[in-house]
Every structure is written in C-alpha cells, then in structure tokens.
Chain A
C-alpha cells in the first residue's frame, strides 16, 4: 500500500511556519471595548501621521509641504468664507453619510447611496418641471419631498429583496447606481433635453425660485437640514422605542426575535429610510448648488457617504464631525492646485488623509501583544505566557 507522496508541499508548509518559533513577534488582539475619547484621539493621530507621510510626497514631487498645508488649512478653515466652502461640501456628505449610517446601524450596507442621490435629484428636477407654477418656498419643499420619494423608489426593490428573500443589499443597491446615472443620461439626450440649447445636449435649467436660499458665504440652508436630520436621527435612535428596536435588531438579531421584534420590518424600514435620506441629499444638492440636473451631479458624494459613515462608526455625532473634516479635505485639496500641485498629487494627498483616519479607527479596536516563541527561553513558563507590552495609543 503506497501512500501518495507530496513531499515538496510538505516542506514548504512547515518551513513557512518556522519563523514563528524563532522570533518574538507582535500579535494583534481585539479589545473588549474602546473608550469614546480614544476614538477622537486615534482619529487625530491618524490624520497627523497621514499629513507627515503626505509631506514626504509633496516634498518629493517638488512642492513645499509647509506652504501647501498652510494653504489647505486657510482655504478650508481659515475664516468665514473658507468655512462656508467647507460646509457647502460637508452638507451632502453629512446627509449621505447619515443615509449609509441608518442602514449601517442595522448591519446593512447601502452601497448605492450615490444612485439614490441621483434618483432623488431626478425626481426633484422632474417635479420642478411639472409644477413650475408653484410659489418658490412651496416648490422647494415639495421638491425635497419628491427627492426623498425618488430615493425610496430606487431602494425599494433591494429593500424588499433583502427583507423577504435575503438577497444581499450590497450588490443590488450598487448595481442600481449605474441604472440611475444612465437614466439621467437618457433624459439629457431624450425627453428632458433643453430645446434652447441647440445642438448641445443638456437638461433644461431649473427656475431661479427653485434654488435653496443662501445662508452665509457659499452655504445654503441645506446645512441646516443636515444638522436637523442628524439631531432627529440621534434622538430617534437613542430615545425612542423605535430606535431601541432598531439597535436591538442590528446588534443581536436573535435577541430581537426573542423580544418579539420583526426583523423583516426593521430591515425594510432601515433601508427605505436610508434610501429616502440619500434621495433627499440628492434633491438638496440639486436645489442648493446646481442650476440643472446632470449625470455627474452627485459627484461621488454618495460613495463618500460610505466612508463618512464607516469612520463615524455609524453614529450621528460622528457623521457630523467626519463630514466637516471630509469637506475640509475636499476643499483644501482643490485649493492647493492653484499653488501648482497637480490634481493627481492633490487627490493622493486627500486619499492619504482619509486612509490615515480610517486605519486609525480600525486599529483602535486592537492592541498589540508581543508573543515569545515556544521553547526559546530556558524556562517553559515564560514561553507559554505571552508578555503583553506597549499597547499602542492608536
């Protein structure tokens, strides 16, 4: 009886494991819990480390890091006008981030907020075309309602499929992003094409009265909606029975079932609410900053909302902070291009800052333990007990 031999494989496998027995090596261990203050500190440390790495990048590409960072800070946070430009970008980020966080608090990933923003903007623009005779304030309010409905409509299919058939919402919502954008492209060259734009295909502009009133500087009153929505969601989650059920269903589905909470209904409401918020973000972006509906209107805010929600650990308070930081990074990244920093370097810099924050937020869940190899010390006792050393602050 011959055993099949595969000696090479064997030695490779054993050889790979050998260094474990020789070196003292760090092992990441999950922390039982993370102090809220540590989250803020980790966030800042992550960004600072990224800025240091970014300085090397800038220096290597022939720019002066000090000047560039100065300009970034000034243009995004230095003064009233700069701040208003940051908040202008933070507004859609906050609402889209909240949309993702609503689903996220139930353990669901609404990856398609971008598409729902487009659907919301489309519904709002369509409403403005049909009901252009209404007085300005009424028109705006109804446009926002139409926007939310548009977002809900786009997410309805994925939400039903997830709640009743268990189909992954990640894939379905993502695929509908393309659908939403293509529909706007079709409207642009087809039924909604502006007859006065001659050969150039674009959608008719919105009437002036459909624009959200400004607040200060560049900011429109959409920022107030964002704040109100964040507050409302925070209250709903932490202070209502509905929010209690949502938290229970999200954190421990079996316990929720035990308590008599319908998981399907909770999945459905969380996703529909998420889609509605994203649609509202789209309508606010349309009415606040754009003159007309365009396929590129949401310009990635919906996808950025995923990053915002993840960094904020799905918490409304976190969404507010992260959205402003993200808005400042976007604004700063744009402004340094006037210093001669190429747009690709600026984009890399933006990405590095966000990755720094994201990595810090993830690593915060772990601490480092140094594990000594078995049998290396003279006494077996020390070998078996991994010495814990230097839990890092990040």
Chain B
C-alpha cells in the first residue's frame, strides 16, 4: 500500500501532507540485505512508529533517510521533492534531524555550545545565543540549563540536548532510535509530551521502539518492517492492541516446516536455576530465570526482542556474568566458568551476531573454521596448517557451505553460508547442548531450510536444543516446549501443539494468559 508522496497526490485530510516518503529502499551489506524494498510514509504533524524485530532493517532505513548510508536502490522524497543524501549534512539541510542511540555530544562543552556546534550564527553574542537556545527549549518543554557542561547531565538531559540540536538546525522531521531505552519512566513520559508538542506544531517524529505499550500511547501511525520489507502501514493506531503489533512484527513465514516426529526426551542436559544477569547498560535484564532442556528435545524461546533473550544466550555461553543462580550442563556445574570450559563441557553456541561474534569477518574461512579446535591442531609450538585446512574442507563438505577460496576473508560468504559454517563448526564437537540464537534470521529460504533441518537432526541425535527465535512459525513448528520471555522473566510456558499464534503474541506482549 505505498502511497505516492508527491505534494499533488497527498491524502485527503488537511494536515495529512506527506513530509517523508521512502520508496522501495534497498540497502545491502556484505552477507546481509538490511532493507529490501522498504517503504516509509510520514505525514506532517504526526508521530510515526517504526516497528520491527532486531535486524528487520529499521536502523538501516533511518540511516538512509539521515544520509548515513547511500541506498543501493529506491527513492527518497522529502517535501515532495526527490533527494539524494550523500552525507548527514545533506539530510540536516533538508530538515531531517537524527537522535542516535549513542549520543554525539562533547562532554566538556556546555549545553548551548553543543546545540549550536557547527552551525552557530556568526553575528550574535553568547548571551543572545543562550537566550535563543533557552527559548527553543522552553517552547518544547525540554528542561535544560543551557550554561551547564554536558558531562554533568543525566542521560535523559543529554537526550534533550540532542533533540535541541536537531531543532536548532530547524529539523521538521526528527528521528529517534529507541529513545526510551536509556530513560527512566518519568523521563520517558516527559519525552512523550515533548514529541507531542512538536507534532502539534506541524513537525513530524519517526519513533523507533520495541516497547509496544509506549508506541501505542505515543504514536499516531506506524510502519512495520520485517526482513527489510514493509509489511504493514496502519494509518491509525486506534483499535490496535499490543498483540496485534507483536503479530505484525513476527509475521508469518512462507517456509513450510515439517514438525519433527515425536520422540521420548532423555535426561536434563541443561539446567538453569534462578539465573539473573545485567544488560550492557548495567540494568537488570534477567530475573531468576528457570529453564531446563532435556536430551533430544527442542525448547523454543519466544519474545519481543529486548526482553532478555540476548542476555540469556550470552549468560549460558559464559560471555555475560550472572549475578545469581546456578547452571548445570549434563550434571556438571558450569556457573561462572569460562566460555572455553563450557565449550569443552559440551556446549555449542550459535550467537545472534554470526558475523562479529561467531565469526571474525576479516579472517579466512579456515581460520574461522578452527575457532573451537585450533588448540588440538598444534604440533609442538606450531599450528598444523594442513590439518586446519583438512578440517575446514570436511566441514565445508559436510554442511554444504559454498565457498570460494578457503583463504579468503569469510565476510565474502553469503549469510546462509556463514550460518552453515558456524553451525557446522559448533556441531563437530559432538555437543550435548546447542544454544542457537536467531539462527535463521535474515537467511534466504534455502538457508533457513538447511539450518532448521540441522537443528532437527541434532534433536534426533539426542542433543538438547535451546532455540531462541523471533520467528513464531519456526518456534511453533520446531519446539517440543515453548517459553515466552517478557521483561527478563519467563512469562509463559506453553505446549506449542496446543496454542495459537495469538496466544503466544499475547504472552509476548506481557498480557499472559497461560
């Protein structure tokens, strides 16, 4: 339902003028297509939610709009004129203001200095500039003291300075990337008021968030992205509830997945008891999570991203310290042990970031293939390169990885082949437990099928699998048991054969019924 954005063809209502219209944006990175024909239509005077799971292409799309990336294909229309942004400066000049997740402020400078940095009027004295900044802040109820140095400010205040910066540059479209992730509830409420007052004055806001409640209370319209494609553009959020949004985000995948045949499960091979952990920002992200996985079963973990799934996977892998609880792997206590010790104890781990965590992008295919086994490839002090190469060749053959040259940087491979290699590498050690985080995200149909059949094969071989995914169909089809995470806790435990997508959606949105 792409609406042409020309001023002439704007929609019926008076202030429904289209300010930003992104049409068929495509942006490809090595190994992954971030946006593949994404559309975004933003009207004047509205707060527009941009929704989608991690990796759905939200950030890439707004980076195209704000001049950070040049799109490979597609059109950018702003105020009815087609634009091409070669740098953020071009986008700022066109009235697009961006507030990034990581603030870009100079801590030693004052608030007003940061606001006017790079675009200070030449013929005004400091007093007048401060006055103007203060006036601008007051207009949009952005409480700040223009004369204070930024290093003294709280995170919420710093965000206000970022917004002021955009307003000072006369942005009539403000893009906020997960603005409330760093805010206290009170600050988040203030931010909502500020954004509303901007919309009331005819400006537009593009609001990226995972928090569905917030989106419903703050935003007027929404665009939902999935796998880089726009899948829904509700013109009004009235009458839409959280589970509707959650369902739009996870969507239905076209792949036909065969439910694995029933089989009796064995002993508990992974046992988490009361596991708690902190997020990267040091806030509690997991609250006493209990999960057990038996040999020969797949336990699915569902949830809107940002509800503790990443932290859960990292805590099990030993990459994130736990603050409470115990962990057992095949009856060996692995609480607090190193990643290497857990790998040796029989843990295979496919991380969410396959390139960058699971695989080293600039190193060769061979180097990446032996990440788990290079220590056993030593001959005296030297690494036996012949054996490494043989190992890599066998891996490539067994898991059907399509590679060019083995000594080429691995980033040359496609997403599906990267994942085949990564999963294959993790499985060669004959693991007892496989933790796979978003193993099929962003893959093409063939890649998804290959990875899923590997996971099912592991189950048949008696491996206990913890499958963390945002693809509901995948979870419902593959899991023997389903766990739903909400705000760092296990919100629901379900039998995937007995529940509907809507049930899971409700649990993901925190309105648990089961």
Contacts and interface: CB of A to CB of B under 8 A. Distances in A.
Contact of B170 (A10, A254, A383): A10
B236 interface: no
A379 interface: no
Say which size band chain B's interface belongs to.
35 or more
B448 to A, nearest CB: 23
A252 interface: yes
B363 A384 contact: no
Interface string B345-384: 0000101010011111111000100111011011001110
B339 A374 contact: no
A254 B382 contact: no
Given A239-B382, A240-B383, A252-B356, A16 B339 contact: no
Contacts of A243: 383
Contacts of B351: 258
A241 B381 CA distance: 7
Nearest to A248: B360
Interface in A202-243: 239-243
Nearest to A384: B75
A200 interface: no
Contact of B119 (A13, A21, A241, A257): A13
Q: Is the interface of A mostly helix, strand, loop or mixed?
A: helix
A375 B83 CA distance: 8
Nearest to B129: A6
A48 interface: no
Contacts of B92: 13
Contacts of B361: 251-252
A6 B139 CA distance: 15
A20 B90 contact: yes
Contacts of B132: 4, 6
Contact of A8 (B121, B168, B338): B121
Interface in A1-40: 1, 3-4, 6, 8-10, 13-14, 16-17, 20-21, 27, 32-33
Contacts, number: 123
B374 A244 contact: yes
A259 B121 contact: no
A9 B123 CA distance: 11
A252 B362 contact: yes
Contacts of A27: 70, 86
Nearest to B118: A13
B358 A255 contact: yes
A290 interface: no
Q: Is the interface of B mostly helix, strand, loop or mixed?
A: mixed
A17 B371 contact: no
Contacts of A259: 339-340, 371-372
Interface in B146-197: 168-170
Interface centre among A10, A373, A385, by most chain B C-beta atoms within 10 angstroms, is A10
B360 A252 contact: yes
B383 A1 contact: no
A251 B412 contact: no
A275 to B, nearest CB: 23
Given A9-B121, A247-B367, A239 B339 contact: no
A227 B361 CA distance: 31
A16 B89 contact: yes
Contacts of A21: 84
B82 A375 contact: yes
Interface in B76-112: 82-84, 86, 89-90, 92-94
Contacts of B411: 32
A371 interface: yes
A33 B409 CA distance: 9
Interface in A373-389: 373-375, 380, 383-386
Contacts of B93: 13-14, 16-17
A386 to B, nearest CB: 8
B53 to A, nearest CB: 21
B343 interface: yes
B357 A373 contact: no
Contact of A6 (B74, B121, B385, B412): B121
A374 B82 contact: yes
A260 B135 CA distance: 54
A248 B86 CA distance: 34
B319 interface: yes
B73 interface: yes
B387 interface: no
Nearest to B388: A244
Nearest to B361: A252
A252 B121 contact: no
A258 B73 contact: no
Contacts of B94: 17
B82 A380 contact: yes
A243 B74 CA distance: 45
B170 A6 contact: yes
Contacts of A20: 84, 86, 90
Nearest to B385: A239
Given A27-B70, A257-B339, 7 more contacts: A3-B139, A4-B136, A6-B121, A239-B382, A255-B357, A260-B338, A375-B82
Instruction: Across the A-B interface, give the 9 residue pairs with the lowest CB-CB distance, nearest first.
Output: A260-B340, A252-B360, A374-B84, A255-B360, A17-B93, A254-B357, A13-B93, A260-B339, A251-B362
Interface of B: 30, 70, 73-75, 82-84, 86, 89-90, 92-94, 119, 121-122, 132, 135-136, 139, 168-170, 201, 317, 319, 338-341, 343, 349, 351, 353, 356-363, 367, 370-372, 374-375, 377-378, 381-383, 385, 408-409, 411-412
5 contacts: A1-B139, A251-B360, A257-B339, A258-B319, A384-B75
